[in-house]
Amino acid sequence: MKYYLLLIISLLPFFSFSQQDTIQYWIQFTDKNNSIFTTSNPQDYLSQKAIDRRLKRNIPIIENDIPVNQNYIDSVTATTNVWIHNTSKWMNAITVSSNDTNVINQINTYSFVNGIEKVKILMRTVVSDKFLNQSTTKNFNSFTVTPHYPYGKTYNQLHLHKMDYMHDLGFQGQGMTIAIIDAGFLNANKMIGLEHLFEENRILSTRDFVAHDGDVYSDHSHGASVLSIIAGDIPEEYRGTAPKATFHLLRSEDAQAEYLMEEDNWISAAEYADSVGADIINTSLGYTTFDDTLDNHTYTELDGHTTRIAQAVNIAFSKGMMVVVSAGNSGSSDWGYISTPADADSALTIGAVDSLGNYAPFSSYGPAFDGDVKPNITSVGWQTYYITPWSNEIAQSNGTSFSAPMITGMVACLWQALPDYTPKDLKLLIEKSAHQYSTPDSLMGYGIPNFYDAYHQATGLNYTYSTRLVLDELFPNPLKESGTLTLNFISYKDQEASIEVINNLGQTIQKITPRLLKGRNLVEIEYSYWKAGVYLLRIIDADTQVQVKKIVVSD
């Protein structure tokens, strides 16, 4: 950190903008002396969940947990033409806005100020959108036989990591809290595939660290798309990686600009996530170049601990949280390398592949400048299925900003299954499960992780599909005299099955031969002429094994 401060002080004449230009500054303080807060009373500034996480992991409460000294903040904001934007207790700093450089230079003389850095000039004539790489396709038609129920179109992108096995074992993110730090969550509160989160009160909080207007649902749509990948649930059509997890939705990114200040917004958001007790942070954001080119990062800075945002990721990890970060989408550009905080030593950095495991050429490559393997692992970020916030359609899109939430939900489910694991041990377990752990490279890192294999390695427990076709559910039963009979199958392979409905005279009154795919399948049988009574449902699989179920039709 001292490197930045020395550099800032040496550039003080740089503060010479015209009085009418509003600029934002990072003000670094020297200490937290005479604070009203102490490390012995963390309940004054941390939630009980955050304290419990530290206790469980034997993580001490230290000085960087204590909020910034309020007396220092008051002294700065008491100055004319200075407005506070965000604070950072981890970095012991605040971000302020001002249109008076003389005042800023005066503040820099205060004894408790260690340095000041310009992080944003509020002058912008060109509006751009950093997330325009998304392309969508229309929703598919519904079929009588829904393959891979309940996953629908998401089956392949989850099965690549054997997450369907983890879900079948009951691990779907229950009890895990995820903080998503993004550019906004447009319409997330109105999306069909996210209704369950609001009905079950699993959106614990929302915060906007950019506009501070309290509304994250009217900003950019990117965070809502990310949320759908983790938690989306549309029966028979779509299922996310952790549909039963709980969330904090935090906005740190201004999608219409790119300034160093956005990294500092992110730090404040991460500190908030820690304070409310989040287990995992997902961020599909990364930084290399800025609208003010003087702030551009160099590759030598991406050594895992030089940029402030990378330092913040490492601190978050030290507080007991897993931080899942997208690698970046620069693989085909002149830059090519990962962005920051993807370089952070402690980040679980995610590159992109397609659902067949093929490397996505746009996925940023490593290593970090210090030689660390980056990306750490890869997931489906090439033609990833998600739910569109503007139309509620299931669509496909590209980007490591989609492969990161894929992994985030999987981490939640695995951690749910292995609650005693530390973030360090869990991260290593996931890496070891990846297909090229022994021979990592700069494109895919350790490769594609197998989350069921990670669970198996940790517990010794095995999971296999039955060696035949299994009717897992049949509903409703009893039936009315007309309606729909729904059958939920688990099939151990792609196969054609025979399903017969037999009355009490031994006569077959209806027969279908659905084509079933490996995994879960939903079959719906429409009926309108079955009389009240008892019937047998005879199911014959491709290996001629027979199952018989009794169904009742009521008056």
Q: pLDDT 10s digit of each residue in the chain, 555 long?
A: 222 222 222 233 333 333 345 899 999 999 999 999 999 999 999 999 999 999 999 999 999 999 999 999 999 999 989 999 999 999 999 999 999 999 999 999 999 999 999 999 865 544 455 564 544 433 322 225 777 878 889 999 999 999 999 998 899 999 999 999 999 999 999 999 999 999 999 999 999 999 999 899 999 999 999 999 999 999 889 999 999 999 999 999 998 889 999 999 999 999 999 999 999 999 999 999 999 899 999 999 999 999 999 999 999 999 999 999 999 999 999 999 999 999 999 999 999 999 999 999 999 999 999 999 999 999 999 999 999 999 999 999 999 999 999 999 999 999 999 999 999 999 999 999 999 999 999 999 999 999 999 999 999 987 665 567 888 888 888 888 778 888 988 888 889 999 998 888 888 888 888 999 888 888 988 877 778 888 899 999 888 888 888 888 887
User: Which ranges in the chain are annotated with CATH 2.60.40.1930?
Assistant: 470-553
What Cα–Cα distance (Å) separates residue 232 from each residue in 135, 151, 159, 298, 302?
19, 10, 16, 37, 34
Tokens read off for 388: 């569109």
How confident is the model at residue 123, as a pLDDT?
Answer: 55
Q: Are 380 and 355 in contact (CB under 8 A)?
A: yes
How confident is the model at residue 464, as a pLDDT?
Answer: 64
* DSSP bridge partners of 250: 181, 207
Cis peptide before 389 (omega within 30 of 0): no
How confident is the model at residue 21, as a pLDDT?
Answer: 58
How confident is the model at residue 144, as a pLDDT?
Answer: 54
H/E element, 70 = helix 70-77
Length of the chain (residues): 555
* DSSP bridge partners of 234: 238
Residue 533, classed as helix, strand or coil, is strand
**To the nearest 10°, the Cα dihedral for 183, 186, 192, 196?**
60
Rounded CA separation 403/407 (Å): 7
Residue by residue, DSSP assigns 220-238 as -SHHHHHHHHHH-EETTTE
How confident is the model at residue 83, as a pLDDT?
Answer: 95
* Beta-carbon count within 10 A of 455 CB: 23
How confident is the model at residue 437, as a pLDDT?
Answer: 98
What distance lies between CA 87 and its chain's CA centroid? Answer: 24
How confident is the model at residue 285, as a pLDDT?
Answer: 95
Location of structure tokens 């014959």: 540
How confident is the model at residue 457, as a pLDDT?
Answer: 95
Rounded CA separation 262/246 (Å): 25
* Plot region of 214 (φ>0 → left; ψ -120 to 50 → alpha; else → beta): left
Fold classified for 173-459: Rossmann fold (3.40.50)
Fold classified for 470-553: Immunoglobulin-like (2.60.40)
How confident is the model at residue 149, as a pLDDT?
Answer: 79
Q: Are 155 and 163 in contact (CB under 8 A)?
A: no
Residue 162, classed as helix, strand or coil, is coil
Tokens read off for 49: 């969940």
Rounded CA separation 160/380 (Å): 8
User: Which ranges in the chain are annotated with CATH 3.40.50.200?
Assistant: 173-459
Q: Are 223 and 185 in contact (CB under 8 A)?
A: yes
